[in-house]
Every structure is written in structure tokens, then in C-alpha cells.
Amino acid sequence: MMATLTQIIIALIIAGFILWAVRMVLGLIPMDAWIKQVVDVILLIAVVAIVLFYVLIPLLKMLPSALHI
């Protein structure tokens, strides 16, 4: 259980850092606003996928074992 919680915390930190770093780099690149918005939406979908597969799914797998105390 502790290993899963540690993995969840690390995944959230990595996902947040990726989101922050790419958004900062996008601000420095001169391109049209609609292209930046498309890249930002794709980035957000990628971060949500990271959170889904590395955080929510392991938590849902732990739920049945946690309910049978």
C-alpha cells in the first residue's frame, strides 16, 4: 500500500511538472494562438492519461482489498 501511494505521489509530481514545463516553453515559441491552444489541449489530454493510468486505476484496484479489513 505504501509503495502504491509513493508511486501515486511521484506520478502526480511528474505530471504537474510536465504540464508546467511544456506550458512555459509554449509561451516562448512564436506561433499562432490556435496552434498553441491545440498543443495545450493535447498536452492536457496526455497529463490526464498519466493521472488516469498511474493514479486512478491503481487506487480503484486497491479499493476492494481496503474494504475487506
- DSSP state letters, 1-69: -HHHHHHHHHHHHHHHHHHHHHHHHHHHS---HHHHHHHHHHHHHHHHHHHIIIIIHHHHHHHHHHH--
Q: Specify the pTM.
A: 0.70
In a domain, residue 29? The reply is yes
Domain count of the fold of the chain? 1
CA distances from 7 to 13, 25, 35 (A): 10, 27, 33
Task: Kindly report the backbone phi and psi dihedral angles of residue 29, in degrees, each rounded to the nearest multiple of 5, phi listed first.
Answer: -85, 125
In a domain, residue 57? The reply is yes
**Domain span at 11:** 7-67
In a domain, residue 1? The reply is no
In a domain, residue 2? The reply is no
In a domain, residue 55? The reply is yes
For 34-41, what is the mean pLDDT?
91
Asked whether the predicted pLDDT for residue 55 surpasses 70, the reply is: yes
Average pLDDT, the chain: 85
In a domain, residue 38? The reply is yes
